[in-house]
Amino acid sequence: MEAFRGRSILQFAAAFAGGGPDPVEAAEQALQAIDGCTDRSVFTVTTPLRANEEAAASAARHRDGRPLSLLDGVPVAWKDLFDLKGEVTRAGSVVLDEGPAAQDAALVTRLAEAGAVTIGKVNMTEFAYSGLGLNPHYGTPINPWSRDEPRVPGGSSSGSGVAVALGLVPIAIGSDTGGSVRIPAAYNGVIGFKPSSGRWPMAGGFPLSLTLDTAGVLCRTVVDAVIVDAAARGLVVPDLRRGRIAGLRLVVPTNVVWNGMEPDVAQNFEAALERLAAAGATIVRRPLPVLDAIVALNASHGPLAAVDAYRLHKDRLASDAANRMDRRVVKRLLSGRAIGPAAEQEIRATRTRLIDETLSLFDGQTLVAFPTIPHVAPPIAELEADDDLFVATNTKTLRNTLLGNFLDWCGLSIPSGFDHQGLPTACLLSGGPGFDDDLLATGLAAEALIRGPVASPL
């Protein structure tokens, strides 16, 4: 039962190649672990028939010595906004029911072509519109690092983060509009990779913002992220080499990202920087005015995601469906109504200008680094009881990660240790648009240095 629990993609691949448990047993173990999980809010649906069929085909390929890729036979879970053929895509809501999907989302097809075995769909914030992961319809997955009281899983890819942290699946695919992959990765102590826009296909994924949405992966190691990235781009094997810390330049902003930072989060980040510097990295601390510009633009005009989200849900918000939606999501969606055409035009023009201005930061050996989130996972109960606290906490949770979405930076969240309560903290490395290979290559070399002591909630 526990042969694959908490294992990485490479460990699955080694077991299959070495004549150990095969993909059929791996799929059976994953489904049994999900069925036996006490938290019934992690998965919204499992797909045993599909999983068994795909696993049997994978096992046959392994017996013949012709696996499709390192992903062949590895279980994967999907955030419930990606279409799976024959399943209803609900996007964390009870008002979205257009019948079973006629075909898989493009990204599902890519990973299936690499041999990945779809196990089912995982929970999420309704319509992907929160960084905390609460869901009144399907329940809120509990952060597995909770000790004193149940804590948030992070969102909106809440089930993705918890499923990987619990070892139910080695990889889960989420989406990231303002941090929805990197935040649950950070809160749950796993790896989270968000590519630049356009690197992974988004067709067949229910959108939040057609401007800012990207897909992403939550997994156990940076190597896992590299393997999934290759499959998502239609490659049989990854096409990058491990980077070097010697010669790496890390720009650490001294503005915006540190406001309200918890001491333990800052301490773990600084310890990681010290280890990286000792290995040859150059740490450059300076303000990045572009970050202040984004904060000011959001304050004066409103967030770009709100414009896109309101446009998408406008008719739904004017119907009876709004009464059956999460009140907090409704409030955020309605905020986009106040952003008029002139303000939207200014937001989009400013975004283009700021993206261009930051391109000079990145030269193949330079990344931006700061804590993924300024605080550890907060308790669920107090957020459920106080909507004002929910809004304030959600805003703070999203603050650091959404900067990268606005600038189309790729991002890699790596666990950086634990606070005094035993809750995970994380470091976010970011590269410019299209610098994904440099980011992942550096992540391969930096992961062990950033992680520090390793622990597991299992």
In the set 69, 79, 416, 430, the catalytic residue is: 79
337 found inside a domain: no
14 found inside a domain: yes
β-sheet bridge partners, residue 216: 174
Q: Mean of the pLDDT values across residues 255-267?
A: 98
Name the band, by pLDDT with cuts 50, 70 and 90, for residue 145: very high
Residues near 235 by beta carbon (within 8 Å), at least 6 away in sequence: none
pLDDT at 300 over 90: yes
Residue 21 sits in a domain whose CATH number is 3.90.1300.10
Q: Active site includes 180?
A: yes
* Single-letter code of the amino acid located at 279: A
Its domain, for residue 26, covers 9-232
130 found inside a domain: yes
Name the band, by pLDDT with cuts 50, 70 and 90, for residue 453: low
Q: Active site includes 157?
A: no
pLDDT at 20: 81
Q: Active site includes 331?
A: no
Q: Quick one: tokens of 440?
A: 């992942």
In the set 8, 93, 146, 156, the catalytic residue is: 156
2 found inside a domain: no
pLDDT at 454 over 80: no
300 found inside a domain: no
pLDDT at 307 over 90: yes
Q: Is 203 exposed, middle or buried (0-12, 13-18, 19+ CB in 10 A)?
A: exposed
Q: Quick one: tokens of 454?
A: 């390793």
Name the band, by pLDDT with cuts 50, 70 and 90, for residue 268: very high
Name the band, by pLDDT with cuts 50, 70 and 90, for residue 97: confident
pLDDT at 438 over 50: yes
User: What's the number of domains the chain is made of?
Assistant: 1
CB atoms within 10 A of CB 211: 18
346 found inside a domain: no
pLDDT at 457: 66
pLDDT at 221 over 90: yes
DSSP 259-321: TT--HHHHHHHHHHHHHHHHTTPEEEEE--HHHHHHHHHHHHH--HHHHHHHHHHHHHHTSGG
DSSP three-state, residue 246: coil
pLDDT at 1: 42
pLDDT at 3 over 80: no
Task: Give phi and psi for 261, each to the nearest 5.
Answer: -70, 130
28 found inside a domain: yes
pLDDT at 19: 84
Rounded-to-integer distance, Cα 139 and Cα 141, Å: 6
pLDDT at 384 over 50: yes
423 found inside a domain: no
Where b means 16+ CB within 10 Å and e means fewer, 365-380 reads: ebbbbbbbbbbbbbeb
Q: Mean of the pLDDT values across residues 11-22?
A: 91
Taking CA atoms, 376 is separated from 180, 219, 249, in Å, by 15, 19, 27
The per-residue pLDDT for range 48-70, each reduced to its tens digit, is: 999 999 999 999 999 999 999 99
Global pTM exceeds 0.85: yes
* Single-letter code of the amino acid located at 189: G
In the set 58, 69, 158, 180, the catalytic residue is: 180
